[in-house]
Chains A and B, each alone.
Chain A
Amino acid sequence: MFSIIRSMWITFMHMFHKRETIQYPEEKVKLPPRWRGRIVLTRDPDMGERCVGCYLCAAACPVDCISLQATEDEHGRRYPNFFRINFSRCIFCGFCEEACPTLAIQLIPDFEMGEYNRQNLVYEKHELLIDGPGKYPGYNYYKVAGLAIQGKGKGEAMNESEPVDVKSLMP
C-alpha cells in the first residue's frame, strides 16, 4: 500500500523534471561525430578524388544500394566513372565505410534527407562528392601507395624505399 502511494508520488514529481523531448524542427538534435548518416565521397588534401573504384563498398553493401563503374584517367589514376547510391535502400550500416581501403566513402552526422519523390533519393556522384577530406585530414592514398602514376614513379611514395633491381646480385 505504501509503495503504491510512493510510486504515485514519484510519478507526480516528474511534473517538475526537465523534458526529454527535443522540439525537432526548431531545436536540432546534437549528433555525435561518428554518427552514421548521409554517405559522402571525400577528396584527398590535393583535391583529387580518393575513390579508386575498387568495388569493395558495393560488395560489402548488404542491401546492394551502391553501384559504380571504375575507369582510369590519362595519369594512371583510377576513379569511378559514375557512382550511385540509392538512399531509399541504404540502411546506414556503415559497412561501405569499413570496407573502403582509401577512406573515400564516409558516413557523416546528417539525417535530414527527406524527399517527396522517391527517385530523388538516388544520389549521383556529383551529389555525393564533397570538396574536403571528411574525417581523415591529411590522408592521400596515392602518396602512400606503391602504384606509379604520372608525377610519381616507383619508390617515390612516402616511407617507400627504392625498388629492388631483381636482376642484380648486389644487396
Chain B
Amino acid sequence: MKLFPHLWIVVGVLGGLLLVAPGLIWLERRMLALWQDRYGPNRAGPFGLLVVLADTLKLFFKEDWIPPFADKFVFVVAPAIVVVTVLLSFVVIPFAPGIIVADLNIGVLFFLAMSSMGAYSIILGGWASNNKYSLLGAMRGAAQMISYEVFMGLALMGVVLQAGSFSLHTIVEAQHKIWFIVPQFVGFVIFLIAGIAETHRLPFDIPEAESELVAGFHSEYSGMKFGLFFVGEYLGIMLISSVITCLYFGGWIGPAFLPPVVWFIIKMFAFIIFFILLRASLPRPRYDQLMEYGWKFLFPLTLVNLLVTAGILLYMKS
C-alpha cells in the first residue's frame, strides 16, 4: 500500500546523492580557490558548473586499464565496495520527517558497520594492485580506519545515552529542546576528528598521501574505477556531514520558515564546506603521529566523556 511513495524516496535519495557527489568536485575546487585567492573553474557554463560534466565525461572516456600484474577480480570489485557501503549507510539517515529509506532501530550501529566495511575497499584495492605504494597506502588506511573506528563509535555513545535510542530518527526527535552539541561538545569534537579520519580526507589522507605514496591505494586505478573511489570519497564526506548533522545539530530541526529538508541540507553543506576548509588549511601529520594522537589522547578522552555522561545521566535519574 505504501510501496509506491517509498520507492520514490529510495530513488530520490539515491539520485540526489549521485547527482550531488560529482557536484562536490566543483564545490571543492571553487571553495579551495576562494581560500587561495583564486577563482577556480569559472568558464564552462554558469559559474563553471559544467566542469562537473566535463570531468565525468573525461573519466568515462579514459582507458580502463587493469595492470597485468593485478589480481583482476578483486581489482575490479574493490572500488565498488566503497560506493555501495556508503550508499547503504545513507539508508538510515533521516533527511526530514518521513524522508528516510529505512528507520532501523539500530541505525547508528548500521552506520558504523557500513562505514567499517568501507575499509575493505581500501585494503582490497591496495592489495590487488600488487604495487608496493598501493599496499603501503592500504595498510595505513586499514590501521587508521580501524583505530579511529573505535572511538568514533564510543563518541557516539554519549548521544545514544542521552537520546536513549540507536535510531537516528529518535535521536533527532530528542533534540527539539537543545541540540546535542551543547551537552556533548567533547563527543562532537572527537566524532568530527574521527569522521575526518574515517573518510580519509585531508589532513588525515594518509592512505592516499600523494606526496609520499604517489596516490596510495588507488595509484593503479584509472578511468571509471578511479572515478568510483572518487565518488565514494565525496559520498563519504556527505555521509559524515549528515551523520554529524543528525547526531549533534538537530537534523532537520530549525525555524519553521524553511521546510525541514532544507534545514538538513543547509547544515550538511556547512559541514561539507568545513571539510574543504580543513583541506585548504592544515598540513598532513606523520603516520605515527596520527596513531599516537588517536590512541593516547582521543581514546582516553572518549572514555572519560562516556563515563561522565553516563554518571550525570544516572545522577539525574536518581
Residues of A within 8 A of B (CB): 4, 7-8, 10-12, 14-15, 17-21, 23
Contact = CB atoms under 8 A, between A and B. Distances in A.
A8 B280 CA distance: 8
27 contacts: A4-B282, A7-B282, A8-B277, A8-B278, A8-B281, A8-B282, A10-B281, A11-B35, A11-B277, A11-B280, A11-B281, A12-B35, A12-B277, A12-B281, A14-B34, A14-B35, A14-B36, A14-B37, A15-B35, A18-B37, A19-B37, A19-B38, A19-B39, A20-B38, A21-B37, A21-B38, A23-B39
Nearest to B39: A21
B34 to A, nearest CB: 5
Q: Which DSSP category, helix, strand, loop or mixed, fits chain B's interface? A: helix
In which size bucket is the chain B interface? Answer: 10 to 19
A160 B55 CA distance: 70
A75 B36 CA distance: 62
Contacts of B282: 4, 7-8
Contacts of A12: 35, 277, 281
A36 B15 CA distance: 53
Given A14-B34, A17-B37, A21-B38, 18 more contacts: A4-B282, A7-B282, A8-B277, A8-B282, A10-B281, A11-B280, A12-B277, A12-B281, A14-B35, A14-B36, A15-B34, A15-B35, A18-B37, A19-B39, A20-B37, A20-B38, A21-B37, A21-B39
Contacts of B36: 14
Contacts of A14: 34-37
A153 B39 CA distance: 64
Interface in B1-55: 34-39
Contacts of B278: 8
Contacts of B35: 11-12, 14-15
A15 to B, nearest CB: 5
Nearest to B34: A15
A12 B34 CA distance: 9
A9 to B, nearest CB: 9
Interface string B278-295: 101110000000000000
A12 B273 CA distance: 11
Contacts of A21: 37-39
B312 to A, nearest CB: 25
B274 to A, nearest CB: 9
The 5 closest A-B pairs by CB, nearest first: A11-B281, A8-B281, A20-B37, A14-B35, A21-B39
A14 B280 CA distance: 11
B280 to A, nearest CB: 5
Contacts of A8: 277-278, 281-282
Nearest to A10: B281
Nearest to A16: B34
A7 B203 CA distance: 13
B269 to A, nearest CB: 16
B39 A7 contact: no
Contacts of A4: 282
A17 B38 CA distance: 10
A10 B278 CA distance: 12
Nearest to B43: A23
Contacts of A11: 35, 277, 280-281
Contacts of B37: 14, 17-21
A12 B279 CA distance: 11
A165 B77 CA distance: 97
A8 B283 CA distance: 11
